[in-house]
A = this chain, B = another copy of it.
Amino acid sequence: MSVCFNDRYLRDFVAPHELDYLAPQVRLAHDQLHGGSCVGNDFIGWVTLPADYDKEEYARIKAAAARIRQQSKILVVIGIGGSYLGARAAIEFLHGAFTTALADKAGETVVYFAGNNLSGSYLRDLLTLCEGKDFSVNVISKSGTTTEPALAFRIFRELLEKKYGKERARSRIYCTTDRAKGPLKSLADREGYETFVVPDDIGGRYSVLSAVGLLPIAVAGADLDALMAGAAEMMEATRDPDLAHNPAYRYAAYRHLLGMKGKQVELLACHEPAFQLMAEWYKQLFGESEGKDHKGLFPASVIFSTDLHSMGQFIQEGSRLLFETVVDIGDDGASVPIGEDPENVDGLNFLAGRDYAFVSRKALEGTLLAHVSGGVPCGVIEIPDRSERSLGGLIYFFEKACAISGALLGVNPYNQPGVESYKRNMFALLGKPGYESLRGELEAKLAD
């Protein structure tokens, strides 16, 4: 299987009987999830998605991606939250931290993201990058009314219509939205934009393997078949209700037990800079699924060895509220040999002839041993490489682990009631009709 969970560096912190005692609860959570009786069971379409996806739409996604790559030098993906993070994370995982610069240099289609913030300067800069380039837009919003993407879509749609004329602009707008209803779906039908579906039974943070993520990922040149096959493989591998044999469940169980012992922060660590956005995706998945009812581990992340020179001191010797989960990527696909320096200025000639991968491997091992000896429990998620197959497996692994972890915590892992609070306040302060009384109340507080 493409994803393994290695608990070697957790055993000093969690005893075998603790896992044994938890196993029946894990099995119950498994049965409720697979039997469809779990809390939040309206949103568990992701469980079987790697096998049960819409094959006709899947073919259209590939065709649309090929068309976009042919017609445009830039694809602007407009979306926020689950309609943003998964696609961006997957693309950077596969193509690395320099993905946009490399695509630009190679003359390939560059994927940029908009509508995920309210910064005017971000938008202005992105508009500058689009100047003089053919571009297309993929707007992703189930409702079509979420403020950030809706405002960005207003601007990019107008720009497209100005640049290409209303008629030709139509073939450059791709809408990923509700199957049947909502203003974006109505607009797309009226204007003849091609549409893809945000499934009803899959929440935003679980949607990366639906059209939401797949279209941008395909435009960036990825092999969707391998991605889905990796996820399907992991779906099979995590179908076992037995805690002892299910890697996703073992990860979920350990994090639950460590949380109960006062390790309130999970630090997801990876030695590849390409993983940075995947860590953001993980933060959304776990933070939004578990952070409710005043519960949940705080999800944080670091990239090593970069952050060993910033957060390393804290991890080694700071407050003991952390445990670490290391994503160990076996092979990053690059061979960079270290040369011999006749003068040996830096004293590193003992590494001459070695590859960067060797040094990185020893840094990973040395860091694990250092952190464990500093009292930081370290779990290790092992994947073979940065291929689409490994990525699909890793995505499904985290999703499955999050579902079980949320069940152990006793929360609904599929809702996000707290996200409405800032939106309601923002609408009131912006003067949205219908919010007049809240507006008065908030403005009084601000003036206080």
User: Which A residues form the contact surface with B (CB < 8 A)?
Assistant: 8, 80-82, 84-85, 96-98, 100-102, 104-105, 116-126, 128-129, 144-145, 147-148, 150-151, 153-155, 158, 183-184, 186-187, 204-205, 264-265, 271-274, 280, 283-284, 287-288, 290-300, 303-306, 308-322, 332-336, 338-339, 341, 343, 345-348, 350-351, 355-360, 362-363, 365-367, 369-371, 373-374, 386, 416-419, 421-433, 442, 445-446, 448
Given B82, B308, B334, B386, which contacts A123 in the complex, CB threshold below 8 Å?
B334
A98-B122, A123-B356 known; 15 other A-B pairs, CB under 8 Å? Answer: A84-B309, A117-B273, A121-B334, A144-B346, A153-B346, A183-B345, A183-B347, A290-B314, A291-B313, A296-B319, A358-B430, A363-B426, A367-B425, A374-B418, A374-B421
The answer on a CB contact under 8 Å between A348 and B121 is no
Determine if A293 and B273 form an interchain contact, defined as CB atoms under 8 angstroms apart: no
Q: Which residues of B contact A343 (CB under 8 A)?
A: 187
Dominant secondary structure at the A interface: helix
A351 touches B291 (CB 8 A): no
Q: Are A430 and B362 in contact (CB under 8 A)?
A: yes
Identical chains in the assembly: 2
Whether A272 lies near B119 (C-beta < 8 A) is: yes
A184's closest neighbor in chain B, by CB? B345
Whole-angstrom CA separation of A260 from B321 in the bound complex:
14
Known contacts A147-B348, A187-B345, A421-B373, A334 near B120 by CB under 8 Å: yes
Identify the interface centre among A128, A310, A355, A363: most chain B CB within 10 Å of its CB. Answer: A310
B351:A151 contact, CB within 8 angstroms: yes
* Shortest Cβ distance from residue A102 to the other chain B in the assembled complex, whole angstroms: 6
Query: Which one, B300, B305, B341, B373, contacts A298 given CB within 8 A?
Result: B300
Q: Is the CB of A305 within 8 A of B148?
A: yes
Q: How far is the CB of A447 from the nearest CB of chain B, in Å?
A: 11
Query: Given the complex of chains A and B, what is the CA–CA distance between A319 and B299 in angstroms?
Result: 11
> A148: nearest residue on chain B (CB-CB)?
B305
Contacts A121-B272, A346-B154 given; does A319 touch B336 at CB 8 Å: no
Given contacts A357-B120, A359-B430, A430-B350, contact A318 B338 (CB under 8 A): no
Which chain B residue lies CB-closest to A186? B345
Q: Can you list 14 A-B pairs with a CB-CB distance of less than 8 A?
A: A117-B273, A117-B304, A119-B272, A119-B360, A145-B348, A151-B346, A184-B345, A187-B343, A291-B315, A292-B317, A298-B321, A313-B416, A314-B418, A370-B425
